[in-house]
Each structure stands twice: as C-alpha cells, then as structure tokens.
C-alpha cells in the first residue's frame, strides 16, 4: 500500500497542476507581465515565458515535495513542517541534513524560534477561541524561553499543547487515540502531527540525567527525563504548538473533512480574469514606470501632504508617521498583517512587534516602480535606541478583495510589507 504523501493534498495538487500548464499562459504575456513581476518573473516575450514556465514548473515540483522530504528527514527527531514555517529555513536545514551535518541542521531549526517569530505565532494562535484563554500563560513561557529558563518553559508549553487539543475534542494531544488529522493540511497530515504525537508520547521508564533532544512528554512530566533543560527540546515544543495551531484552525472552521464548497480562485485564474478585462488590459499595456529622483521629485522626509495624493510614497510616509506616533491601529490599515481577526487584534500584533523599535526619524533613499501594481521603497530609519537601519518596503496597489490592480484604479489602496526589520 502506498504511503500517503503531503504533496497529494488538494491545495498542493492544484499548485502543481497550475505550474504544469504554465506554458499555456504565453498568449497573456503583454497583459500579465506587470503582475508576474510581483512574483519575481520578469517576462519580456512569449519565448521567455515558455522558458521560465519550465523553470517555474521545476521549482514548484521541488517545493511541493519539500514538506514530505522535511518530515521524512526530521520527523523522528521531533520536528514537523507546518503552513507558516519559513520555507528558506526549511530548505537550508534539509541541505545541511543531506550533507550529514545534523547538528547544523537542527541548529538552523532551533534558531528560527526567535522572539519575533514566537510572538508572531502566538498572535496567530490568539485568533483561535480555543487558545485565547491560554495566551497569558504562553507569554510567560515565551519569557522563560528567551531568558534561557527552558526547565520552566518546556512543561508549560507541553501542558498548553495538551489542553489546547483537548478543548477542541475529547482527547488531548498526548492521548493514545487523539485524532490530529484534518483535510487539506500540511501540519495535520498523518505524516505530521499524528506521527509527532506518537514520538512525544514514547514510554520513558528509567530515570536518566542524560541530555535529551526530543520532548518526551511522559519522561519530562513524570520526572524520569531530567536532562530536558535545553534549547532544542524547548524549541521543538514551540514548533509542535504552532503546527497544532494549523490543525486547530481547520477544526474551528469546520474543515476537518473535505468541503463541498468550490475552492478559491488560483492566481492563474485571477490573472486570466484580469487579462480578459479589456479596460485593465489597456491600462497594463500603457503603464510605464516612473523615473523618480528622491530629493528632486519628492522630499526625502516630509509630511504626507507633501507627496502626490494616491502615490505609494505618500502611503509609506503616512505609515511611517503613524509608526512615529505609535498609532498601531492606523498602521494596521496600511501594513499587511497576517491575522484575520479584528482591528484591535491587528493593532496588538503590531504593537508587540514594533513597540520595541521606536522610530525617531526616517529618510527615503530610493523609489522604484517594480510593476503596474507594485513599488519598492527603501528608507533609512533611526530609532530611540540610536539604532539606524535601512528598511525595504514593498507596496502593492490592491482592490477591495486584496488583489493587485493597476495603480490609480478607483477604489484601490496601497498595502505595505516590510522586507527587512
């Protein structure tokens, strides 16, 4: 019997099918080129699209196989991949493991769990009813983890993990018959959480002071594994908690089983719809990037009303002014926030992420129109702690459905992403 593979879940299969039919997009090159640039593809003609479609197809196939490959390599060591895990980090760890350097590979994974990434994931979990009352205790566990008090953070995160799952069913994470599978999920595939739970609940019957590298729940909470006080065990606890968050989102949305509703449009379908719109097509073909010089065509640093209304630079200056004022609610209206909750929740996320970076001054250095719907701006920022950094902002002009549209399209707005922080 063939082993189930993560790459066979519907969302990944659709991605593969779209990539395999990429060559058929050749006729849309003149209309779609500005939007393809948003995804790092600069297509000049049909022949180049066909060539790059092949490259895209190969890259997509490799990307689709990566979750299975990651879990095959690291599953027995107590790691599983999940939807919001950083792809570059996963690929780097895979390369190190394949080279035989397991110490470096696991260090790469452990080092991913920084204050910023843990805070981000905890804020994602805060959007779940089942986790919200556990958030205060999770914050304390985070503080202990960052302070190196792994002996304290590990038992707490394991307890959160167990209760979190129990809240959504009649069994906790570590129960022998817990069902941690969900339809169309990377983390909640049977090669993911289900397998991880079996590893974490392995029987540990002898007292040992040797350092362990897997958070064996029974051995730790029953006082048998006394060598759990280390970062790798603690990081794996966080990883398991955040992976379980992906399962919990499915459960709370009623998506444990396959949904009869039609799937959301793929990007290729969206592009086709855009291409078939004659007005949009004309605007795309007529669009040209601006040739701007900072300091001549616009101020290096000013108030929003000193910049052209509706321009990406005005949107960015507005964002930076709100940052200076520590107005995180207003920042959330411009800055892309990876949460689907209320505005207050988005503001809380930005406060936790940005409040430790008190912006004093900024100076725009470069403005480059990357596409009809996108502009990249770099700005030198100075903070209260006398830190100075050059940040890159990627601004995309979107409609009410958060889809890229040609700039100046009525009803659109600029949405910003910070590339470096």
Confidence (pLDDT) at 189: 67
For residue 279, pLDDT over 60 is answered with no
398 Ramachandran zone, left/alpha/beta (phi>0; psi -120 to 50): beta
Confidence (pLDDT) at 85: 83
**CA atoms of 359 and 386, how far apart (whole Å):** 10
For residue 384, pLDDT over 60 is answered with yes
Going by C-alpha positions, the residue among 346, 351, 323 that lies closest to residue 336 is 346
For residue 226, pLDDT over 50 is answered with yes
pLDDT band at 419 (very low <50, low <70, confident <90, very high): low
Confidence (pLDDT) at 191: 75
Q: pLDDT exceeding 70 applies to what percent of the chain?
A: 73
Confidence (pLDDT) at 25: 43
- Residue 309: count of CB within 10 angstroms of its CB: 7
Crossing angle of helices 135-146 and 150-167, in 10° steps, is: 150
**75 phi and psi, to 5 degrees?**
-55, -45
pLDDT band at 111 (very low <50, low <70, confident <90, very high): very high
Mean pLDDT across 203-226: 93
Mean pLDDT across 116-126: 81
pLDDT band at 394 (very low <50, low <70, confident <90, very high): confident
Structure tokens at 223: 């006082």
Distance of CA 123 to the CA centre of its chain: 12
For residue 229, pLDDT over 70 is answered with yes
Confidence (pLDDT) at 266: 44
| pLDDT digit string, tens, across residues 170-179 | 677 777 766 6
Alpha helices in 75-114 (DSSP H): 87-98, 102-111
According to DSSP, the residues that pair with 368 across neighbouring strands are 376
> What pTM did the predictor assign?
0.60
Most confident by average pLDDT, 31-35, 230-234, 273-277: 230-234
Q: Specify the higher pLDDT residue, 213 or 402.
A: 213
Structure tokens at 414: 């600029």
Mean pLDDT across 145-165: 94
* Backbone Cα Rg of the chain: 24
Q: What is the DSSP string of 331-381?
A: HHHHB--S--S-HHHHHHHHHHHHTTS-EEEEEEEEEEEEETTEEEEEEEE
Residue matched to tokens 């505005």: 343
Confidence (pLDDT) at 207: 94
According to DSSP, the residues that pair with 380 across neighbouring strands are 363, 390
**397 phi and psi, to 5 degrees?**
-85, 120
**CA atoms of 53 and 285, how far apart (whole Å):** 21
Confidence (pLDDT) at 361: 93
According to DSSP, the residues that pair with 359 across neighbouring strands are 383
pLDDT band at 144 (very low <50, low <70, confident <90, very high): very high
Mean pLDDT across 79-96: 87
Give the domains, in start order, of the chain with CATH numbers.
Answer: 1-72+267-277 (no CATH), 78-90+99-252 (no CATH), 287-418 (3.10.450.50)
The set of residues, in sequence order, having a beta carbon less than 8 Å from that of 320 and lying 6+ positions away, is: 359, 362, 379, 381
Q: Specify the higher pLDDT residue, 205 or 45.
A: 205
């Amino acid at each position: 019997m063939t082993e189930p593979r993560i790459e066979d879940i519907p969302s990944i299969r659709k991605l593969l099918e779209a990539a395999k039919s990429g060559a058929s997009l050749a006729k849309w090159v003149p209309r779609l080129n500005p939007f393809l640039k948003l995804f790092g593809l600069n297509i000049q003609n049909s022949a180049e699209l066909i060539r790059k479609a092949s490259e895209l197809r190969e890259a997509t196939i490799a990307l689709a196989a990566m979750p299975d490959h990651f879990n095959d390599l690291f599953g027995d060591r107590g790691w599983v991949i999940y939807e919001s895990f950083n792809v570059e980090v996963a690929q780097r760890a895979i390369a190190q493991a394949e080279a035989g350097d397991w110490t470096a590979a696991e260090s790469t994974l452990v080092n991913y769990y920084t204050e910023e990434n843990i805070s981000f994931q905890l804020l994602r979990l805060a959007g779940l009813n089942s986790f919200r009352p556990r958030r205060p205790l999770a914050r304390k566990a985070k503080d202990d983890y960052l302070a190196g008090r792994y002996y304290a953070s590990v038992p707490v995160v394991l307890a959160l993990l167990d209760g979190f799952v129990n809240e959504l069913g009649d069994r906790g994470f570590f129960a022998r018959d817990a069902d941690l599978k969900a339809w169309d999920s990377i983390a909640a595939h049977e090669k993911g959480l289900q397998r991880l739970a079996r590893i974490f609940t392995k029987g540990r019957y002898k007292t040992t002071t040797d350092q362990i590298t897997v958070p064996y729940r029974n051995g730790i909470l029953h006082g048998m594994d006394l060598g759990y006080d280390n970062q790798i065990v603690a990081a794996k606890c966080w990883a398991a908690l955040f992976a379980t968050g992906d399962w919990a989102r499915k459960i709370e949305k009623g998506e444990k089983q396959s949904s009869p509703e039609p799937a959301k449009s793929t990007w290729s379908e969206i592009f086709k719809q855009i291409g078939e719109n004659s007005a949009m097509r004309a605007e795309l073909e007529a669009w040209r990037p601006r040739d701007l010089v900072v300091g001549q065509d616009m101020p290096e640093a000013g108030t929003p009303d000193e910049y052209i209304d509706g321009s990406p630079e005005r949107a960015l200056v507005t964002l930076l002014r709100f940052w200076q004022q520590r107005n995180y609610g207003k920042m959330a209206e411009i800055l892309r926030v990876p949460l689907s909750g209320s505005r207050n929740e988005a503001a809380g996320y930005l406060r936790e992420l940005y409040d430790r970076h008190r912006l004093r001054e900024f100076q725009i250095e470069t403005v480059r129109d990357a596409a009809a719907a996108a502009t990249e701006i770099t700005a030198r920022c100075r903070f209260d702690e006398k830190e100075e950094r050059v940040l890159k902002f990627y601004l995309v002009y979107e409609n009410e459905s958060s889809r890229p549209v040609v700039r100046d399209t009525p009803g659109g707005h600029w949405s910003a992403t910070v590339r470096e922080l």
